[in-house]
Amino acid sequence: MKVVILTTQTTHHTYFVRELGKEFEVNAVFVERTVNKAVFDTHHSFEDDRDIYEKAVFFDNKEPRLENECQVIEVETINNHKSVNRLKEFKPEVVISFGAGKVKQEVIDVCPEGIINLHGGNPEEYRGLDSHLWAIYHGDYKNLIVTLHRLNEELDDGEIILQSPIKLDRDMKLHQLRRLNTEICAELTLSGLDMFKRHGRFISRPQLKQGRYYSFMPAALKEICQRRFERYTETLC
């Protein structure tokens, strides 16, 4: 089974690729250099703590190198003509998008039945960016969910293949949340790939409703999220 991943260069994405490579051959990883940014301040100090924490947990404080895991192809964006042609050369059966930008139809057409996306959230309630943070902002902890779904051109709108809630621990800190999300992303994807291998397709269901679209969360609201999340986890048994 030929598998290609679309992503960006980060510690948690490198962990994800490594975990998939333990059970399936990853033929290539396309790394986008162009990353969308907000026109306002979005950075919060918990994100610095998150990067340090993930490097320690996933790589024992060693420098993660995606190039050590598989063939890496750097592109400005996966949607430009040159990138699409390069992707076609691999003749992938499955294309996995994890943290890449919005994928256009020309990319989807390379592998229409096998292209899937990982969404850190419940797309039937929260589509777009920072979905877990927006759920926390609204006090909606039941929707701290990870979703594997089919990818179409409408953002986070594809049929749902697998989902799993994130189990929070007492006194958990916000900078630890993405680590759990990433581990579940790897688990769901491995289950999805096994499904595809056994059945020759992804078994999925339509979304029952279209969640509201959210964009970047401003830094000031992330401060509110951090306080709310950590007050909430203090109450857990």
Residue-level pLDDT at 75: 97
Token pair belonging to 143: 């929707």
- Quote the CA–CA distance of 211 and 214 in Å, as a whole number: 9
- Quote the CA–CA distance of 42 and 39 in Å, as a whole number: 9
Q: For 109-131, what is each residue's pLDDT tens digit?
A: 999 999 999 999 999 999 999 99
First-to-last CA distance in the chain?
43
Q: Which stretches of the chain score pLDDT less than 50?
A: none
Residue-level pLDDT at 36: 87
Task: Write down the residue that tokens 């857990």 correspond to.
Answer: 236
| Buried b or exposed e, range 59-83, using 16+ CB within 10 angstroms | eeeeebebeebbebeebebbbeeeb
Residue-level pLDDT at 89: 97
Which value, in Å, is the radius of gyration of the alpha carbons in the chain?
17
- Quote the CA–CA distance of 31 and 53 in Å, as a whole number: 23
Assigned CATH class of 3-234: alpha beta
Residue-level pLDDT at 35: 85
- Quote the CA–CA distance of 129 and 170 in Å, as a whole number: 26
Comparing CA positions, the residue from 87, 154, 150 lying closest to residue 116 is 150
Model confidence, pTM: 0.97
The helix-helix angle for 11-21 and 177-199 (nearest 10°) equals 30
